[in-house]
Amino acid sequence: MPNNSLTSSSNTNAAAIRALQMELKSLQSQPIEGFKVVCDEDNLFKWTVAIFGPPGTLYQGGYFKAVLTFPTNYPYSPPSMRFIQPVYHPNVYPSGELCVSILHPPVDDPQSGELSSERWNPTQTVRTVLLSVISLLNEPNTSSPANVDASVSYRKYKEEGDQEYANIIRKQVDKSKEEARKDKVVVPETIEDYVVPTKIAATNNNDVIDMDEDYYDDGASDTTDVPESEHAEDSGQGDED
């Protein structure tokens, strides 16, 4: 008799692989600003993500690498995310593990203070996870910190202007630049370089329009001027025979 549990596990793996292949293709064709995603196609369940610190923040110029690990029943269970380099942040454990609601399993946990709607659900994607990470970098959740010391330091920085938190982040940013040089990665440090140009397909499906170019007309009419003589002929107002 066939082993139903093995068959079910195989089907689950195949579904997860298909989902991850589609997401990887989407991220390659439509990248997210502030991220570089690298995946070994021999192991789709583990991705390396490079996070570029957003310009105008303490993390500007930073290059922080993390590993996304996916379960075999993805997307029904969330991935986990762990920073490879030290990241001093209220929502990052000293081990590097990221603590954010969107990566928590969809179970009721009244002790966590999280709403079930804030947790993972199968409609979430890697794209939504990465966008949440950028948001969390700039606006930590200090109500349930993973790193209590970092949380206290951050609150002093925001409320009292204490610079300890900022100084630690700047040192980590400087250290991360060494890693970027090793990887031969140029980290964007201006808004212009950081933002990914938005492209839309043209109607003939062969061209791509770059929305950063002068796409819109300057107000000139598209109608070609027609000589008055032609107007006259068309309206039957030419010279009589």
**Active-site positions?**
99
First and final CA of the chain: distance in angstroms?
A: 99
For residue 220, give the 3-state DSSP assignment: coil
Residue 135 corresponds to which tokens in the numbers above? 């948001």
Q: Which two tokens stand for residue 26?
A: 């989407």
**At residue 214, what is the residue type?**
D
Structure tokens at 202: 């043209």
Residue type, 82: R
Distance, CA of 185 to CA of 189 (rounded, Å): 12
Structure tokens at 220: 């000139």
Q: How many CB atoms are located within 10 Å of the residue 81 CB? A: 24
CB atoms < 10 A from the CB of 66, how many?
A: 22
